[in-house]
A and B are shown apart, each in its own frame.
Chain A
Amino acid sequence: MVSAVEGSGRTEPSRSERPEKPESPPPRRTFAARGLGDRIFRYLLTATGVTVLTIMAAVGLFLLLRAGQALRARGFAFLTTAEWQPDVHRFGIAAVLTGTLLIAAVAVTISVPLAVGTALFISDVAPRPLRRTLVTMVDLMAAVPSVVYGLWGLFFLQQHVIGLSRWLSDWFGWIPLFTVDGTQPGEPLASESVYTASTFVAGIVVALMVAPIQCSVMREVFAQAPAGEREGAYALGATRWGMIRAVVLPYGKGGIIGGTMLGLGRALGETIAVYLIISPVFVIQPHILQTGSNSVSSLIALHYGDASAFGMSALMAAGLALFLLTLAVNFTASSIVARSRSGAQSEA
């Protein structure tokens, strides 16, 4: 209908009317004059955009302002000190940053295979009537409050994971990462408490928290893999897994990387679940199975209450470091997704 009206508008006047009238109307403008309402509308919208940008910039700016005192006092040593005693001016984020990165690494290592598998399952394997329900359930999992995950980790997972931790440290204890001080391989009477409240337990809980987020990003990208290429693969005699490997996975590479990084960003910033599970230590703790760990966010949650003015500044500096870290991870993620084939298409 629209095209017909356009067509008649274009052709008829040119044939019948223009030759008759010597003073032809000026050429039709192809843009409308902006009325007052539209101008106000534009200004208002731009103002909201500026407001949002200001709020987001204020996060970094105020953290930097407040952190200035502590950063000036410590300088570069802030990155290399493991202790946290701001009142005697001996503090740094070496221990908490290591802990944060280790917890996030454990979480991502566990969550990515789960997330990729589940995303592929939902997009390609699951019976069709089931798919919508599964998508809803993944979204629901992403919305479960972190404190609930924390409770589950503290009261349920902790005692059930000791066996796995012990097995790992018995068999792979020769890898420094899995060493547990104070135990011998195969020693049956070793105290169980050396395996609790560890980086590993916190990592598992965080993995369960970030897997749904990663999964929903990946599933969205997988579902966009062009139907023509899928059918082409099938027509060439591929099995379903052959099709997935030849079409879906290469197409969704950007989504896999982007989703992983997004989950990594969440894992780095997770506070409450980690705080509930770990027992904080202020030394660099590379043994992920051993009790005691720390993270930047749980450091802040632990010390904000009893901090002096200078201690607060030190906490702000730690928060700033976390903020910059997650920002870097997120920017990397979004640029990877945008540059990939699937990302470029979904942007349009």
Chain B
Amino acid sequence: MTVAEMEKAGEERERPGEATGSAPAVAAAGLPDVPRRIGGVTRSGVLSLLGAAASGLCTAVLLFGELAPFSGALGFTVTGYAAFLLVYAVLTGLEEDAQAVRDRVMTVVLWSAAALLFSGLALVVGFTAWRGREALPHTNFFTQDMQAAGPLDPLTNGGVAHAMLGTLTMISIALLITVPLGLACAVYLNQIPGRFSRFVRTIVEAMTALPSIVAGLMVYATWILGLGMQKSGLAAGFAISVMMLPIVIRAADVVLRLVPGTLTEAAEALGAPRWRTVWHVVLPTARSGLATAVILGTARGIGETSPVLLTAGFTAGLNADPTEGPMVSLPLAVFNFVKSPEPAMIARGFGAAAVLMALVLVLFAVARVIGGRGPGHQSRRQTRKALRASRRDSERFAELHGPGLRLFETGPADDGPDGPDGPDDSGNPDAPGDSRDADAPAAADAPDPADGEQPSSSVGDTH
């Protein structure tokens, strides 16, 4: 329907263009031949926006204060917003056609949707930080556990050190499991295509939204009920791993898929076996993206409560041994604090939640700093390093091939008796020797070697 509309608009636009000679025809068409504005700010646009906002506010005040028996802040906002949209549509309609009016109104609606979502985020984070302000200034909050503090004790007694230690322990265990397994599985999905790896990918994708409590139940069923182990930090680490594994695999898989095929082809053309290609080309190229994948998975894993709830038990004391005795993590501590009716305990819960939020924020900032670049894009330091390596390579090649091509003089003498290899080596010594000598200095001298060339030179370095 819209396409038809657009075509119509296009035809109308074209007609005056064809009849440029006759001025009356342009006037008769009634459409000025100006390009449509897409986005951008105009004076009348801003003015009608402001006017509509003012009239929306006034309408809401009038309705809620004087005319109708409405009440409530939310209703006020909704009524005001509806009035604002209506007035804005009318104001725009005074000087634009119907399509432009629809465009303006929808633009405002999209702005509001985004504003609503982001203000929701700001509200959640801000509220947590605001309520955490009572507990956070006390240093004992970070250094003590809750063993000596009762529910009625003031905030100057007791803290969440045990939960912080527990979170670190559990996430370390989970990372020890998920990073090697997850990255290797992502490499598997990318490097060994086939029916089985497609199947694995499908399953992993379906598991990314595995309910975290089911991950907890699974470890509870196998590790605690099946093997008779006790609830511990180790079990919680396992549960978090089960939950994180699909997330990390999927994110890493997406990143690995972006590694340019030309790079791996270049490595294989140089004769590198597959594993060297992966180790020296694919993984370094995707390094920043892989780090982001792991960090985002960590952020998810750190914040999960329900797997820990089922598998770690609960303790008020510091426990540094993940294999023995119950352990508590930050989200679990928050959960237990706020179940208490005591204000001091709730304040502690918000404090712990703020610490957790800060942890996630820091992880996120680190992920942005590391993973800001796409695969193959290097920081300045990496570029310099790769340049040095490439220069070293070219010097090495020059040393090898420069003085009288020693390689190929000794070659036939060694390989001669073997037979089949002999003719090949002696047959074309000039062509590869020449091309290498010509290429290597060129790559080193080039002032701006493309990013893509660097990893392949590091392949040469390792041979």
Beta-carbon contact of B303 and A145 below 8 Å = yes
Report the stretch among B22-30, B208-216, B315-323 that lies at the interface.
Answer: B208-216
> Is there a chain A Cβ closer than 8 Å to B414's Cβ?
no
Using an 8 Å CB-CB cutoff, how does the interface string of A147-168 with B read, 1 for contact, 0 for none?
1111110111000110110010
Select B128's contact among A63, A152, A315, beta carbons within 8 Å: A152
Shortest C-beta distance, B131 to chain A (Å), equals 7
CB neighbours (8 Å) of B296 from chain A are: 139, 143
Asked if A117 meets B305 with Cβ closer than 8 Å, knowing A148-B356, A151-B350, the reply is no
| Beta-carbon contact of B39 and A316 below 8 Å | no
The CA of A84 and the CA of B423, in the complex, are separated in Å by 83
Contact call B306/A301, Cβ cutoff below 8 A: yes
Give, as a whole number of angstroms, the nearest-CB distance from B353 to chain A.
5
Binds A, one of B113-121, B135-143, B281-289, B375-383: B113-121
With an 8 A cutoff between CB atoms, is A291 at the interface? no
In the complex, A113 Cα to B106 Cα: how many Å?
A: 13
User: In the complex, how many angstroms separate the beta carbon of B102 from the nearest chain A beta carbon?
Assistant: 6
CB contacts under 8 Å to B, within A33-88, are 34-35, 37-38, 40-42, 44-46, 48-49, 51-53, 55-59, 62-63, 65-66
A301-B361 Cα distance, complex, nearest whole Å: 27
In B183-206, the 8 Å CB interface with A consists of 184-185, 187-189, 191-192, 196-197, 199-200, 202-206
Residues 22-61 of B, flagged 1 when their CB comes within 8 A of A and 0 if not, give 0000000000000010110000000000000000000000
State whether the Cβ of A272 lies closer than 8 Å to any Cβ in chain B.
Answer: yes
Asked if A172 lies at the interface with its beta carbon under 8 angstroms from chain B, I say no
Selected from B36, B110, B220, the residue in CB contact (under 8 A) with A239 is B36
Cα A212 to Cα B423 with chains together (Å): 64
Closest-by-CB residue of A relative to B300 is A143
B303 touches A56 (CB 8 A): no
The residue on B at minimum CB distance from A1 is B439
**Which residues on A sit within 8 Å (CB–CB) of B214?**
59, 63, 269, 319, 322-323, 326
Is A141 a contact partner of B121 (Cβ separation < 8 A)?
yes
* Contact between B246 and A56, CB atoms less than 8 A apart: yes
Q: How far is the CB of A337 from chain B (nearest CB, A)?
A: 9
- Tell me if A237 counts as interface (CB < 8 A to partner B): yes
**Would you give the 0/1 interface string for B226-239, flagging 1 where the beta carbon is closer than 8 Å to chain A?**
10000000000000
Say whether B366 faces chain A, with CB atoms less than 8 Å apart.
no
Q: Report how far A269 CA is from B306 CA in the complex, Å.
A: 10
A234 to B117, CA, bound (A): 29
A208 within 8 A of B: yes
Residues of B within 8 A of A239 (CB): 36, 38, 99-100, 102-103
B interface, size bucket: 35 or more
A297 touches B213 (CB 8 A): yes
The answer to whether the Cβ of B368 comes within 8 Å of any Cβ in the partner chain is yes
The answer on a CB contact under 8 Å between B242 and A113 is no
Q: Which residues of B contact A268 (CB under 8 A)?
A: 211
Q: Which of A193-201, A241-249, A279-287 contacts B (4 or more CB under 8 A)?
A: A241-249
Binary interface profile of B, 296-311, with partner A (CB < 8 Å = 1, else 0)? 1001101111100110
The answer to whether residues A143 and B207 also contact, given A1-B439, A2-B266 and a CB cut-off of 8 A, is no
**A48:B181 contact, CB within 8 angstroms:** yes
Stretch at the interface among B145-153, B168-176, B271-279, B395-403: B271-279
Q: Give bound CA distance, A323 to B199, whole Å.
A: 19
> Is B200 in contact with A272, judged by CB distance below 8 angstroms?
no
Q: How many A-B residue pairs have CB under 8 A?
A: 324
Residues of A within 8 A of B448 (CB): none
Given A45-B192, A238-B6; A118-B117 close (CB under 8 Å): yes
* Interface pick from A90-98, A120-128, A174-182: A120-128
Contacts of B39 in A (CB 8 A): 125, 240
Minimum CB–CB distance for A322 against chain B, Å: 6
B124: contacting residue among A5, A8, A51, A144, CB under 8 A: A144
**Is A314 close to B, CB under 8 A?**
no
CB of B304 within 8 A of CB of A145, answer yes
Contact yes or no, B364 A125, CB < 8 A: no
Q: How far is the CA of A115 from the CA of B110 in the complex (A)?
A: 10
Given the interface pairs A136-B368, A272-B331, the reply to whether A246 lies near B360 with Cβ below 8 Å is: no
A242 pairs with B204, CB closer than 8 A: no
- Asked if A134 CB lies within 8 Å of chain B CBs, one says yes
Chain B residues with CB under 8 Å of A276's CB are 335, 338
Which residues of the partner chain B approach A116 to less than 8 Å between Cβ atoms?
113
A173 an interface residue at 8 Å Cβ cutoff? no
Is the Cβ of B218 less than 8 Å from the Cβ of A59?
A: yes
Supply 9 A–B pairs (Cβ within 8 Å), ascending by A: A12-B431, A48-B185, A52-B182, A152-B123, A163-B71, A239-B102, A241-B106, A276-B335, A297-B213
Q: A32-B268, A126-B114, A141-B121 are in contact. List 8 more A-B contacts (CB 8 A).
A: A46-B196, A53-B200, A56-B203, A115-B117, A143-B303, A144-B303, A236-B7, A242-B102
A residues in contact (CB < 8 Å) with B:
1-2, 5, 8, 12-13, 17, 25, 32, 34-35, 37-38, 40-42, 44-46, 48-49, 51-53, 55-59, 62-63, 65-66, 113-118, 120-122, 125-126, 134, 136-141, 143-152, 154-156, 160-161, 163-164, 167, 208, 211-212, 215, 233-246, 262, 265-266, 268-272, 276, 297, 300-301, 304, 312, 315-316, 319, 322-323, 326-327, 329-331, 334
